[in-house]
Amino acid sequence: MSLSESILPVPGVRLGIAAAGINYPDRDDLLVIELAEGASCAGVFTRNAFCAAPVELARQHLQKTVPRYLLVNSGNANAGTGRQGFQAAVQSCEALAALVGCEVTQVLPFSTGVIGEHLPVERLLKALPDALAQLDGAAWPVAAGAIMTTDTRAKMVSRQFEVEGVAVTVTGIAKGAGMIRPDMATMLAYLATDLKVEPGLLQSCLQQALEPSFNSISVDGDTSTNDACILMASGVSSLAPVTDAGSAAYRKLSEAVREVCMYLAREIIRDGEGATKLVQIQVEQAADEQEARTVAYTIAHSPLVKTALFAADPNWGRILAAVGRAGLHELAIEQVEIWLDDVCIVRDGGRAASYTEAAGQQVMDRPEFTIGVKLGRGQARARVLTCDLSYDYVKINAEYRT
């Protein structure tokens, strides 16, 4: 079964898509998500100080009321656009609210695309009726395509589980391929379930799923101005509302949401701009988790390491140097081990006695592998997913606005 065929509708959630011509001619670039009355919604947003106007407005609206509609455009980030950009986001929400008969604060706006250019609001407003006319519970695959920018493929997945014999669905879509080093979630991700979940629990569920997934990936070390991750609970399930974190329903929901986030995060790295390798960096035996994450990200963000990954060059000295400059206090280098999958490349302060270039090359030639680091300082660990840095990454981003 193909990925698109496995995507399951979420009762109480409908999606409508239109081609507004915001930046891309002849392609879908506008998405409206409709939630059933009584739904709940949780969200996490970028910590970038230059957050986009829709991020600022969505935060405000989410604090004031329960959303009924999400409005997403691709092709223009509406970031770095000052007061005019904020008014464009407000105007977009007002127009959708007027068409559907809800409060303006019940609309959450989202944008992705080029930073620093003003949103062509008139095009967006003109396409809104078309998007509303297309509202359909089965439109997740088309919606996943409408939110893409430099992505080469749509990212989507569904999971189902049972509670008291009743099937519960969690479906999610995401976009992202560049400007990926999330400091909350990913560039844009939308997940939904048909359960009814108390808002505080829904927020906790989302937060717990982020750390091992979207908060543990990096393509290029850049945190976007527009990052947002939204978890919606339509509440139309026949099951009783989820109000207890210790309940079986909450535990199963948390597991499913985590699985969906992990899958989508992995797909983002796999589709990194120009990426040819998916690499897991596993740091173990750290003094604490933050130390482990620091080492992992230092390796993941090293241009020298990333270009060696692209070349399939087992230049282990670049990895060793990254570990050494990660800033760990009094690092005992003789305790450090570095591995490529099951091949030890560094031990006792230098190249491992058993290491051969041929063994290292065999691992580096693989499309997916793990760089393992054992620090010999404690029991903490961390995992980060990253990719290589290729010619195409430079080309894509050099020509992004042309």
- In this structure, what token pair is assigned to residue 272? 């990194």
Per the CB < 8 A criterion, the answer to whether 319 and 339 are in contact is no
Q: Which residue has the tokens 């920018």?
A: 149
CA dist list (Å): 24 to 18, 29, 123, 147, 150: 12, 7, 12, 11, 11
Does the active-site annotation cover 186?
yes
Q: Which residues contact 320 (CB under 8 A, 6 or more apart)?
A: 338, 346
Strands 188-193 and 337-340: unpaired
Q: In 2-82, where do the E strands start and end? A: 13-18, 30-35, 40-45, 69-76
Q: In what order do the strands lie in the sheet with 217-218?
A: 217-218, 380-387, 278-286, 368-374, 337-340, 343-347, 350-351
Task: Please measure the distance between the N-terminal and C-terminal CA atoms of the chain and give it in whole angstroms.
Answer: 38
Q: Give one DSSP letter per residue of 129-183, joined into a string.
A: HHHHHT-BTT-HHHHHHHT-SS-SS-EEEEEEEEETTEEEEEEEEEE-SSS---S
> Angle at which helices 248-270 and 199-210 pack, to 10 degrees?
40
Q: Which of 164, 227, 138 is nearest to 190 (CA)?
A: 227
Q: Which entry of 186, 225, 298, 386 is annotated as an active-site residue?
A: 186
Cβ neighbours, 10 Å, residue 264? 26
Which residues carry out catalysis? 186
